[in-house]
Amino acid sequence: MPKQDEGLDPKYRMPRCFGYAPGPRNLPVHQRHRRYEKEIAACTMSARTDPDQLAQFLPEGLVLGEEARLEVCVMSFHNIGWLAGRGYDILMVRIPARWMQRQKQQSGYFVPVVWENMADPIITGREELGWSKIFADISVSAERDEQWRCTASWDGHRFFDFQAAAFEEAASAPSPMPMVFEKYVPTTGDPQASDAHYLTITASDGPDTEIRSVERGEGKFEFRGASWEQMPTQYPIVNALASLPLEDFGPVTRVMSSGGGDGSGQARLVPALSDQTHLIEK
């Protein structure tokens, strides 16, 4: 193994033979003051949909929240410390859900998929946190302060549109809710088996996020289906989302913020999928 960067913590990921792996939670000593640096512009919107169809996305142990709504969150990250000042964009899909944790019922979101437009956060987020991240070309544009638009595509096929406008100042940002992900790593040589298959959950970490502004607006979003030819590895994902009927689009919340945690509070949700004795029955 080549000489190690002694300024990094002893953390690994592939390709392991090159030694300690830098990333969002492992910066060189002389850059660790930048660990939590970032600026975020986020727009969130939800729509009511069919509860039976929506429940099909939930893994064992989770049930729908009080209302069957599909929520999307579009985020633009800028001036990220661990990326030496670079940025990227996110399209996150969320489903309100309930589950049991430490014999108490908890509420939050199940996140079935997250699209990002940079490889580095996709790789670190999948391997280290268990987030279901995949790639897309994401374009976020604020034509004017009153408008916000996002499109997502893969190799030229646009599968997502998001438009919002009529923003007005709001009193406060919604309180953050825990998010649950389903981590899955297939076994090499036995594709029907897994090296890892369990739920992970977010938790607070790092400094508090600084909220700079909160606004409410109105808008609409849409997923568009795809053929195998258009999206050879992602067509089942976008087609499942595109099949959901959407109505009663909720208010758009736009939040400008900086700082905050880095995902290091992410943990395995106990019990694992093989032991669901005290989780909510579906």
Owning domain of residue 42: 34-268
User: Is 19 inside a domain boundary?
Assistant: no
Q: Is residue 74 part of a domain?
A: yes
In a domain? residue 21: no
For the segment 123-137, the average pLDDT, to the nearest whole number, is: 98
Mean per-residue pLDDT, 159-166 = 97
C-alpha 3, offset from chain centre? 35
- Residue 199 falls inside a structural domain: yes
Query: Token digits for 69?
Result: 């709504």
Q: What is the pLDDT of residue 144?
A: 62
Q: 73 in a domain, yes or no?
A: yes
> What's the total number of domains in the chain?
1
Classify residue 5: in a domain, yes or no.
no
Residue 75: inside a domain: yes
Residue at 278 is within a domain = no
Rounded to two decimals, the pTM is 0.94
> Residue 128 has what pLDDT?
97
Residue 142 belongs to domain with CATH number: 2.40.400.10
pLDDT band at 282 (very low <50, low <70, confident <90, very high): very low
* CA nearest to 227, candidates 235, 219, 216: 235
Report the C-alpha gap between 69 and 73 in whole angstroms.
Answer: 13
